[in-house]
Amino acid sequence: MAMAADILIVGGGSTGASIAYHLAAARAGQITLLERATLASGTTGQSSAIIRQHYSIPTLARMAQRSLHTFRHFAEELGRDAGFRQTGLLIGARAEDAEGLRTTVAMHRELGIDSRMIDRDALHELEPRMVTDDLVGACYEPEAGYADPVATTMAYAHAARQLGAQIRQHTRVSSLLVEGDRVRGVLLEDGTQVETRTVIVASNVWGIKLLADAGISVPVRSTRHACILLQQPRDFGQQHAIIFDFASGLYLRPEGENLTMAGTLDESEAETVDPEHYNALPTHDEEERFAMRTAERFPAMGDATLQAGWAGLYDVSDDWQPLIGPFPGVEGLFCALGFSGHGYKLCPAIGTLVAEILLGRASPGIDRAIFSPDRFAMGAQAQSTYAFGIIG
């Protein structure tokens, strides 16, 4: 039996749920979201969930700025809390990073983002437990923090339902249905056809194969990213800020009152994997390496103990920036993927942007062209200032 919807969203992570909510809020028609397992059970649930505005590309910085505002006032808009905790962000800079950071900070200040360069003395004053001998200073963003990606997704899905959207879990899309130059729906694993004139593929790494099977190749790959959770020693003291350590290629994120999450910024350590068959736990080498780098930056963490670890997935595009918009040559087919680790922190702005694109509305201050799915074929890739693509 064929079912129908005005707009189908494939993928029930933070991106898909945000799109569903924003389209439903805009009264865009009958919105149906299809999730292969349960909401936030894929890459969203594995996210380190860092919320920051630090991007070297102005459009991304604006989107992050708007998203941070949403996270800080989430319950006021959505009726449910996203668990945002403000911690601040410190980006430790080497000599070769300083000019790029200064340029980015100047751009941030023009946008009204509270971002500033600090010297090594000010860095030591902010965080005296850090070893800073190999750094020339830092960028400090006091408004940054982290949130709960599962709670965020559930809140968006709940609000979308309240506005009339259908959220269908345990509903795996087997293939896209394309006739000639237009999409006409999707085929579910159980053989059901769902008819529509608009499909949005927002299924992260699983969207790559779904599109490929329909004859659409996207420059996006699935990569594995491990992180560990360390129990701080009892005498460690107050919780630290989020740290992006350009010298060691490490990021550190506080968790609760006495835990530290550690992972890598270095894409050279990212392994391309099959999302259906990969090692979802850190290797012993990764555990040792991340713990050692943490202790080198924070000697007080030398006695930290490993509490947990996991390896999530990024849908990494060739320029580490997302693909958002329509596919040329296939009317009615849109995508929102290739977020390269940015997706969760930007999901409020992504939902808004996708709704604006579909409804033919303007997106003030946002250069949509840098997200165009066909930009690679046109030779126009987005360019970040930093050596680490994940920073943006």
More confident residue, 380 or 282: 282
Mean pLDDT for 333-358 is 97
Whether 89 shows a pLDDT value over 90: the answer reads yes
- Residue 297: CB partners within 8 Å, gap ≥ 6? 92, 130, 131, 243, 245, 248, 250, 252
Specify the pLDDT at position 388. Answer: 67
Q: At what angle do helices 149-162 and 14-25 cross, to 10 degrees?
A: 30
Mean residue pLDDT of the chain comes to 95
How many degrees, rounded to 5, is the angle at CA 307 between CA 302 and CA 311? Answer: 105
Closest by CA position to 342, among listed 33, 63, 72, 110 = 63
Specify the pLDDT at position 296. Answer: 98
User: Whats the size of the chain, residue-wise?
Assistant: 392
SS3 state at 78: helix
pLDDT in tens, 155-178: 999 999 999 999 999 999 999 999
Name the residue ranges covered by the structural domains of the chain. Answer: 3-49+149-219+319-391, 87-143+221-315
Alpha helices in the chain (DSSP H): 14-25, 58-72, 74-78, 95-111, 120-126, 149-162, 205-213, 284-297, 343-358
* Contact between 205 and 313 (Cβ < 8 Å): yes
Mean pLDDT for 3-27 is 96
Specify the pLDDT at position 292. Answer: 98
Determine how many CB atoms are found less than 10 A away from the CB of residue 305.
Answer: 9
SS3 state at 256: coil
Task: Record the tokens describing residue 166, joined without a space.
Answer: 């259908």
How would you class 164 by CB atoms within 10 Å of its CB: exposed for 0-12, middle for 13-18, buried for 19 or more?
Answer: exposed
Specify the pLDDT at position 381. Answer: 66
pLDDT confidence band for 64 (50 / 70 / 90): very high
Mean pLDDT for 204-231 is 96
% of the chain with per-residue pLDDT over 90? 93
Specify the pLDDT at position 383. Answer: 65
Q: Which CATH number fits domain 3-49+149-219+319-391: 3.50.50.60, 3.90.580.10, 3.40.30.10, 1.10.10.10?
A: 3.50.50.60
* Contact between 35 and 169 (Cβ < 8 Å): yes
pLDDT in tens, 275-317: 999 999 999 999 999 999 999 999 999 999 999 999 999 999 9
pLDDT in tens, 98-156: 999 999 999 999 999 999 999 999 999 999 999 999 999 999 999 999 999 999 999 99
Instruction: For the chain, state the CA radius of gyration.
Output: 21
Whether 1 shows a pLDDT value over 60: the answer reads no
Domain at 87-143+221-315, CATH homologous superfamily = D-Amino Acid Oxidase, subunit A, domain 2 (3.30.9.10)
Phi, psi for residue 271 in degrees, rounded to 5: -100, 130
Mean pLDDT for 206-220 is 95
Mean pLDDT for 186-200 is 96
State the Cα–Cα distance between residues 159 and 348, nearest whole angstrom: 13
How many degrees, rounded to 5, is the angle at CA 82 between CA 78 and CA 83? Answer: 145
Specify the pLDDT at position 377. Answer: 80
